[in-house]
């Protein structure tokens, strides 16, 4: 939560990815704080080529800005083991000021849950004298609870049979109350000890730190009888001994409600609002316990700080943008609908590429552009301006790109050709992958449209793409949530675009926008058109508004 996310639009292009990386680095150099470049979708072939060439890792994929459980300041409370005594569990819960604690396996997985209510019910309900044996209570728990010591017997042994008896009577009466396997609480009377051993008691609790003679210890050892000495009196020992029961005996094992670090806070709030449970275990992606979350924790979620680059429209932003705090926008597109709660730094310039703006900001802040950063920024400019062929390209874009190319040590012509070739390899891609390589959604009045763009250097390759894209767009439209779909097949060499379109009224809109007669099959050739932003989006928006 201390880091700020720098992210471009969905279906990111080279400018979106490189600008996020370079601006995050610039902000870190300026402030010393942590800025993390992220991406809102899969990178295309062109961008992959650029990142590989300059040995830059692909930014982290961020599918949503909705806060998750990982963003909540929940308590990293340790769990306990199932054999642990109720006494020690209570002390742990008291010291941590918690009312619920998880019982864990050796591998850190949830075995059960223990609450203060579970302990209260156990004490208040009438437990019979065989409660300890039913719980298979370890002798070590009993010694620890009674602040005692095992002087005869196996420290790892357990009390598994019989009941607890307080031997306050004389040996003659003891015979009527002690059965084989019982645990006997007594004082320092040797005859009572011998009697209990003869009656096949499995354990003696000798109170008041009374000394056990060597002869009795030997007899007990031969009979398999454990002896525990305690400084407590018989009344106190009898009262406290129930606290030695292991927590695994009364923990809740079924229907345990847990949440993952990756669960959205909104989903968790909806789930817990209907429950009266106060605390819930949090698990990592591998199912290991990491902490406890309460309903109060869910009210203390910090909004993620985000810087948007290369876009400022909600429809193009990563999911959950409303849940984030947008603190900056760096863009070169039209200004649209991203809303903020307070004034922010907003930089929007009519240039051909966001990377050009970021390059200017490096200079303005007198921060040296390193060769790797220069290579990324130059690649982004070449991509967005189609190597200076796009009408969106300005002299500032071209001059900046040439200066950056010199710093990066690259030849503009060769590098641009290799980039475009890498981005034109569409033969092994599905129609869905092709359509979403560079896809942006827009809203004009009451109409929702999507404009995708695919660039290529081969007429033959673009023709093959067309043959499979029109049928695909027809099947995509009904479930897309859009009124119309457009796909620009842009030939970089010819500097022309064949515009494919589907949707009711799309043909009339295209003809009105470009004053060209469109074919009935859903396409129109637009010579000299290569820019979505400057040559396609504006005319389509105007035509849609006129149609409305």
Per-residue pLDDT band for 429 (boundaries 50, 70, 90) equals confident
Structure tokens at 322: 């409303």
Calculate the average pLDDT of the chain.
91
Torsion of CA 34, 35, 38, 40, to 10 degrees: 130
Lowest-confidence segment of 148-157, 271-280, 362-371, 461-470 by average pLDDT: 271-280
* Average pLDDT value for residue range 475-498: 92
Instruction: Match 């017997």 to its residue by tokens.
Output: 153
Cα separation values, 81 from 28, 103, 285, 515, Å: 44, 5, 22, 77
Q: What is the mean pLDDT of residues 311-322?
A: 88
Q: Are residues 364 and 412 in the same domain?
A: yes
Residues 257 and 174 in one domain: no
pLDDT tens digits along 437-453: 888 888 877 889 999 99
Residue 470 forms part of a structural domain: yes
- Confirm whether 165 is domain-assigned: yes
| Cβ proximity of 530 and 495 under 8 Å | yes
**What's residue 1's pLDDT?**
46
What is the rounded (10 degree) CA torsion for 387, 389, 391, 393? 30
When divided into structural domains, the chain yields a total of 4
Q: Is residue 89 part of a domain?
A: yes
Residue 237: Cβ within 10 Å count: 25
CA distance 190 to 5: 75
Task: Write the DSSP symbol of residue 85.
Answer: B
Residue in 9, 7, 15 with CA at minimum distance from that of residue 386: 15
Say if residue 294 is in the same domain as residue 307.
no
Backbone angles phi, psi at 357, to 5 degrees: -60, -45
Strand 35-39 with 4-7, pairing: parallel
Alpha carbon distances (Å) from 546 to 77, 342, 418, 519, 541: 62, 34, 42, 22, 9
Q: In Å, how far are 82, 83, 110, 247, 265 from 287, measured between CA atoms?
A: 18, 22, 8, 22, 18
Query: pLDDT above 90 covers what percent of the chain?
Result: 66
Backbone angles phi, psi at 496, to 5 degrees: -145, 165
Per-residue pLDDT at 171: 67
Confidence at 84, pLDDT banded by 50, 70, 90: very high
Domain that holds residue 60: 4-67+303-423
Q: Of 423, 458, 473, which residue constitutes the final position of a domain?
A: 423
Tokens found for residue 481: 């949530």
- Shared domain check, 280 and 209: no
Contact 396, 537 (CB under 8 A): no
Q: Is 128 contained in some domain?
A: no
Task: Say if 131 falls within a structural domain.
Answer: no
Q: How do residues 364-419 score in pLDDT, each as one tens digit? A: 999 999 999 999 999 999 999 999 999 999 999 999 999 999 999 999 999 999 99
Q: 289-294 and 279-283: which strand pairing?
A: antiparallel
- What's the pLDDT at 236? 95
Tell me what pLDDT residue 126 has.
Answer: 63
- Max CA distance (Å), the chain: 116
Q: Is the pLDDT of residue 34 over 90?
A: yes
Final residue of a domain: which of 175, 210, 244?
244
E strands, 395-483, where?
439-444, 447-456
Domain end point (choices 207, 222, 244): 244
H/E/C letters for each residue in 419-443? HHHHHCCCCCCCHHHHHCCCEEEEE
Give yes or no: residues 440 and 541 share one domain.
yes
Examine the domain organization and report whether 284 and 311 are in the same domain: no
CATH number at residue 517: 3.10.310.20
User: Which CATH number does the domain housing residue 201 bear?
Assistant: 3.40.1390.20
Give the single-character DSSP code of 241.
G
Inter-CA distances, 185 with 173, 203, 236, Å: 15, 9, 11
Same domain, 484 and 536: yes
User: Residues 201-227: what's their mean pLDDT?
Assistant: 94
* Mean pLDDT on 28-32: 95
How confident is the model at residue 461, as a pLDDT? 82
Quick one: DSSP state of residue 88?
Answer: H
* Same domain assignment for residues 360 and 389: yes
* pLDDT band of 169, cuts 50, 70, 90: low
Identify the H or E element spanning 49.
Answer: helix 45-53
How many residues are present in the chain?
A: 548
Q: 123 pLDDT exceeds 90?
A: no
Asked whether residue 353 is domain-assigned, the answer is yes
Backbone angles phi, psi at 85, to 5 degrees: -75, 160
Could you tell me if 450 and 408 lie in one domain? no
User: Residue 402: inside a domain, yes or no?
Assistant: yes
pLDDT in tens, 336-367: 767 787 889 999 999 999 999 999 999 999 99
Residue-level pLDDT at 229: 96
> Residue 478: left (phi > 0), alpha (psi -120 to 50), or beta?
alpha
pTM of the model: 0.66
- For residue 453, list its beta bridge partners: 488
User: 455 and 542: one domain?
Assistant: yes
Which range has the worst mean pLDDT, 61-75, 80-94, 140-154, 496-510? Answer: 61-75
Q: Residue 221's closest CA among 193, 245, 246?
A: 193
């Amino acid at each position: 939560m201390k880091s700020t996310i720098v992210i471009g639009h969905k279906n990111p292009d080279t400018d979106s990815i490189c600008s996020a990386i370079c601006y995050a680095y610039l902000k870190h150099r300026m402030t010393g704080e942590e800025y993390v470049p992220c991406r809102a979708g899969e990178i295309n072939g062109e961008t992959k080529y650029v990142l590989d060439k300059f040995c830059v890792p692909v930014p982290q994929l961020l599918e949503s800005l909705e806060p998750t459980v990982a963003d909540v300041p929940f308590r990293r409370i340790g769990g306990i083991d199932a054999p642990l005594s109720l006494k020690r569990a209570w002390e742990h819960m008291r010291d941590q000021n918690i009312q619920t604690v998880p019982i864990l396996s050796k591998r850190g997985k949830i075995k059960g849950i223990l609450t203060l209510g579970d302990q209260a019910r156990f004490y208040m309900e009438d437990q019979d004298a065989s409660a300890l044996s039913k719980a298979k209570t370890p002798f070590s728990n009993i010694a620890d609870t009674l602040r005692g010591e095992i002087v005869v017997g196996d420290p790892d042994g357990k009390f598994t049979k019989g009941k607890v008896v307080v031997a306050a009577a004389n040996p003659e009466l003891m015979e009527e109350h002690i059965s084989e396997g019982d645990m006997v609480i007594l004082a320092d009377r040797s005859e009572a000890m011998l009697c209990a051993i003869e009656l096949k008691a499995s354990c003696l609790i000798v109170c008041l730190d009374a000394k056990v003679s060597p002869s009795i210890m030997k007899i007990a050892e031969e009979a398999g009888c454990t002896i525990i000495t305690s400084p407590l009196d018989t009344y106190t020992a009898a009262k406290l001994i129930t606290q030695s029961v292991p927590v695994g005996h009364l923990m809740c094992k079924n229907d345990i409600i847990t949440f993952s670090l990756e669960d959205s806070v909104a989903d968790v709030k909806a789930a817990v609002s209907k429950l009266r449970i106060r605390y819930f275990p949090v698990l990592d992606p591998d199912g290991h316990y990491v902490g406890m979350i309460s309903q109060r924790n869910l009210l203390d979620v910090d909004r993620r700080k985000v810087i948007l680059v290369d876009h400022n429209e909600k429809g193009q932003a990563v999911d959950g943008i409303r849940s984030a705090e947008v603190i900056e926008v760096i863009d070169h597109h039209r200004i649209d609908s991203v809303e903020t709660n307070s004034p922010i730094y907003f930089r929007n310039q009519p240039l051909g590429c966001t990377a050009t703006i970021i390059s200017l900001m490096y200079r303005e802040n007198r921060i040296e552009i390193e060769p790797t950063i220069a290579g990324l920024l130059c690649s982004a400019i070449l991509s967005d301006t189609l190597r200076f062929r796009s009408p969106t390209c300005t002299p500032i874009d071209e001059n900046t790109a040439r200066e950056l190319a010199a710093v990066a040590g690259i030849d503009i012509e060769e590098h641009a050709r290799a980039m475009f070739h890498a981005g034109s390899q569409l033969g092994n891609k599905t129609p869905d992958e092709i359509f979403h390589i560079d896809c942006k959604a827009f809203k004009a009045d009451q109409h929702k449209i999507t404009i995708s763009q695919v660039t290529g250097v081969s007429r033959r390759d673009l023709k093959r793409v067309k043959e499979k894209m029109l049928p695909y767009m027809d099947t995509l439209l009904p479930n897309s949530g859009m009124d119309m779909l457009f796909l620009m097949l842009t030939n970089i060499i010819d500097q022309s675009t064949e515009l494919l379109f589907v949707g009711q009224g799309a043909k009339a809109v295209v003809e009105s926008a470009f004053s060209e007669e469109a074919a009935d099959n859903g396409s129109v050739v637009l010579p000299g058109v290569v820019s979505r932003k400057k040559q396609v989006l504006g005319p389509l928006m105007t035509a849609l508004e006129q149609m409305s």
